[in-house]
Amino acid sequence: MNVIRKISTAILVLGVTSAFVACSDDDSQPPLDGQGKMTISAMATYSPTGGRGLDADQIDVASFMINFKEIELEFEEGSSNDPYYDGEDEIELKGPFEVELISPTPIEIVDIVLPNAVFEEIEFEFDKSTDPNSDLFEKSMKMEGEINGVPFVFWHDFEEEIELEFENGEQNIVVLNDENEILINIDLNEVLYATQTVNLGSATDGNGDGVIEISPDDNDGNNALADDLKEAIKDQIELIEDRYDD
């Protein structure tokens, strides 16, 4: 596997059926001139110890979920032989996609057939879940666990589109009669144990209810920490691309 590029700005329990939409100015779609497959998956890199010393705060994460409203793949202009698509077109993968990232193996989000082409940009749209039966209802990101043995809940409701543009042809995602896998990886070890902006050990249970709440709207006084944690998570997203040749 090769790390394509780390996203330094804006970000996953499946069972949701996604819609595939190809955006074009044409009204009808002719037969594709060759096609391949792409699987988009996600997971978090995480270990409870994170390589820190025994005197450090003990952070244990039991669950980390995020919600994508949609994912878009943008064609590189002139890269497809199919006249239906050009550089102004994009593939829209309609969500929502709610994904639990604490998993020993990647969680598949979508598995789609695409026309042979070069894709120069991937865009992820984070948004609040609108499902009242979901743990992510009115949230775009949620994390649960313990800080030094005390239960904590972090959540955020930010709405943001994150674009990843590849800087040269060697880094673009190329679909050419083959199978490709794109892995969205979030390095939680770096977020929780290595960043200078986030110190979960400083979080407090301000209202004394036995749960440390970290959110934009909480009663424990951790609102600023919630914004710092959200930004640190965004800074530790990377795309990993692998290709499987038959």
Q: How many CB atoms lie within 10 A of CB 170?
A: 9
| Distance, CA of 138 to CA of 140 (rounded, Å) | 7
pLDDT of the residue at 26: 43
pLDDT band at 106 (very low <50, low <70, confident <90, very high): very high
pLDDT band at 35 (very low <50, low <70, confident <90, very high): confident
pLDDT band at 66 (very low <50, low <70, confident <90, very high): very high
pLDDT band at 30 (very low <50, low <70, confident <90, very high): very low
pLDDT digits (tens, 9 = 90+) for 210-232: 999 999 998 899 999 999 999 99
Predicted TM-score (pTM) of this structure: 0.77
Four-residue CA torsion sign, 192, 69, 6, 112: positive
pLDDT band at 17 (very low <50, low <70, confident <90, very high): very low
- The residues pairing with 240 across neighbouring beta strands, listed in sequence order, are 3, 183
Question: What average pLDDT is seen over the chain?
Answer: 77
Kind and range of the H or E run holding 112: strand 107-115
Q: Is the pLDDT of residue 36 over 80?
A: yes
Average pLDDT over residues 63-71: 94
Name the residue with higher pLDDT: 171 or 130: 130
Average pLDDT over residues 86-115: 84
> Can you say how many angstroms the Cα of residue 190 is from the centroid of all Cα atoms in its chain?
16
pLDDT digits (tens, 9 = 90+) for 138-175: 999 999 999 999 999 999 999 998 876 544 445 567 77
Phi and psi dihedrals of 201, rounded to 5? -65, -20
